[in-house]
Amino acid sequence: MRVATLTIVTVALGCMSACKSKSPDTGPGKAQGPPIKVTTAAVEVAKMPRYLTLTGSVQADKQSEVAANVAGRITATLVERGREVKQGQVIAVVDSRQAGLSASAAVAQYQAAESQVLLAKQECERADKLFAQAAISQAEHERLKTQCSAQLAQANSARANADIAGKLAADTIIRAPMDGVVGERYINVGEYVQPMTRVASIFAVNPVRISISVPENAVSQIQRGQELSVRVAAWGPRKFPAVVEYISPALRQQTRDLIVEAKAKNDDFALKAGMFATIELVIGEEDRTVVPENALRVDGAVKRLFVAKDKQAVEMVVRTGVKKDGRIALLDAISPGTKVVISPPPSLKDGEAIE
């Protein structure tokens, strides 16, 4: 009985082994799919720009902390953070009643002083005639002339006071000193301000300034009018063109670097004051091994390309450098003339047959 049982088990195992050997999905004779049709291009050597990479920061072209310039209570605020303003636009209003009354009083005093001047001039003309006729003494003549001059001086003083009072009345309307964007509003309706009280900060941000730190060994490569490109973390690979405008005449003693300022257009306000900037400055050209940009397959930070070799796609992880005119430099050694796959299909894998 035991022998029969062993025989049955042996037969079953043999059947299972035979069934596995006949499976179409396994074994060395597995059928491979048809070759994938691809387009290739040759690796070339081309002139590519050589960059000097620097660091800096974005700054407003101009910045103003607008002060009240008058004492009084705020009756209206007309701007908010981030609001664009034009030069002369009203940003806040101070209670003008007291200033208006002072201006009216000063004008009245000036008008009174003008009347006194007119009367004094008539007295002086009369004194001149009487002195010419020897009707009055020289001392009396000089007294009348001095009185006339004093009245004129008082009138000038009254006019100056009227001008000051008028200016204070006008200063109750606080206006933007330049085109820009409001950074912060410091006051609210009902607050009492003094002439030195900050009302709002305004930034002129189109264009912006790029403050660049240039190390001492690179100072000779910087000149006014030079073009460069700016990148900031917030906008990834986007590059902002800029032009060198201002170059400091001296290096900073502690850091041994030169401060250079470039200007960049900022029509969409993408660049914000305070951003850290990476600056690329073209300082020449050099021969580099290049491939078309669309030969790369980018997976996050990893860049791959497929080399066509013996009718197979051989996958390579590569490091890349600068880009120009649709081509990108390779930092890894690949022989010129090597064929690489252009726009590799998503299904293409290492070792796939290609044609």
Same domain, 244 and 296: no
Same domain, 150 and 110: yes
Q: What is the CATH number of the domain that holds 308?
A: 2.40.420.20
Domain that includes residue 152, residue range = 96-170
The domain boundary residue, chosen from 285, 301, 332: 285
Same domain, 122 and 57: no
The domain boundary residue, chosen from 170, 195, 225: 170
Residue 85: what pLDDT? 93
The domain boundary residue, chosen from 269, 285, 301: 285
- Does residue 29 sit within a domain? no
- Does residue 6 sit within a domain? no
Q: Which residues of the chain have pLDDT under 70?
A: 1-33, 96-120, 122-123, 127, 131, 141, 145, 151-155, 158-170
- Does residue 26 sit within a domain? no
- Does residue 194 sit within a domain? no
Domain count, the chain: 3
Structure tokens at 121: 């001039």
Q: What is the CATH number of the domain that holds 110?
A: 1.10.287
Residue 260: what pLDDT? 94
Q: What is the CATH number of the domain that holds 214?
A: 2.40.30.170
Residue 106: what pLDDT? 57
Structure tokens at 338: 């090597």
Residue 151: what pLDDT? 66
Stated pTM of the model: 0.60
- Does residue 183 sit within a domain? no
Same domain, 275 and 245: yes
Residue 351: what pLDDT? 85
